[in-house]
Amino acid sequence: MIPGPTRETRSLKHPVEDFVLPAGVKRIAAAVEYCGSAFSGWQRQSHSPSVQASVEAALSKVANEGISVICAGRTDTGVHATNQIIHFDTAAKRKDSNWLLGANANLPFGIRLHWVSEQTADFHARFSATARTYRYLIVNQPQRSALFYHGLSWEKRSLETPGMHRAIQLLIGEHDFSSFRASGCQSNSPNRNVHRARVWRQANLVIIEITANAFLHHMVRNIVGALVCIGRGDRSIEWLRELLLLRDRTKAPPTAPPNGLYLVKVNYPDGFRVPQMVPGPQFIAEV
């Protein structure tokens, strides 16, 4: 097995330009789409199936050697991705198309690679990323969806999306997000920089999208929990700002379920050859 770089323990702000691969070793990147409902999150687990373990097993068969992958952002149990970015180092000589077709032939139906591309040694799926975008999907109708039970959250009370959109604008910029941070979050700092945020409706589907430099554990789902309260009319728009300034998770509403959450985009500097994809999921009309 070709070991990954030891930078995994470093801060997100630390560069990786000085990392040099061993002779004959290449760094490969790929985009992974997965339905998280059948897995105990992204990260490899000793007691239950994970997306990471499935991807590594498939790539290892293609490489005929052990492959260890690093992702842009680890997702929790039940959370999905349309565009998770990974990288791995290998001495195996394979074409990009061989990696792609071979891995997909060995992956379960709930996981697929969409592209594979060789990268320079200074590319790092996590530390080279400048932003990540998550989307949270809520079916807003009297009854829960039968077809998309595992892929949509549900709210039976009518949600007023213009108010939710105005509220989420209050989170743009760099803030202390302690009110929206899981108690078990291991990040050294509660500060994150939200670049862009919006809420819109597509028929009975309410979509919440947040782009930030990085996210705290459960940050998006905790924000969604507050936005739903505002959308139902239980709380005012300004209440979201009050929650943010309180910096107290106990004052915020419960965490939204995981099944509506998708990692849909990861941004990298233009110097890296990272193909662009439609964020998705594919049944959403882009606006």
CA pair distance 114, 31, nearest whole angstrom: 6
Please identify which of the residues 76, 96, 122, 176 carries the catalytic annotation. Answer: 76
Token pair belonging to 16: 């990786």
* Cis upstream peptide for 281 (omega within 30°): yes
For residues 10, 264, 149, 36, the Cα torsion angle rounded to the nearest 10 degrees is: -40
89 is catalytic: no
Cβ neighbours of residue 20 under 8 Å, at least 6 residues apart?
121
Token pair belonging to 186: 């291991």
CA pair distance 41, 47, nearest whole angstrom: 12
Q: Determine which helix (DSSP H) or strand (DSSP E) holds 267, and give its type and residue range.
A: strand 261-267
Token pair belonging to 118: 């060789």
Which of the residues are catalytic?
76
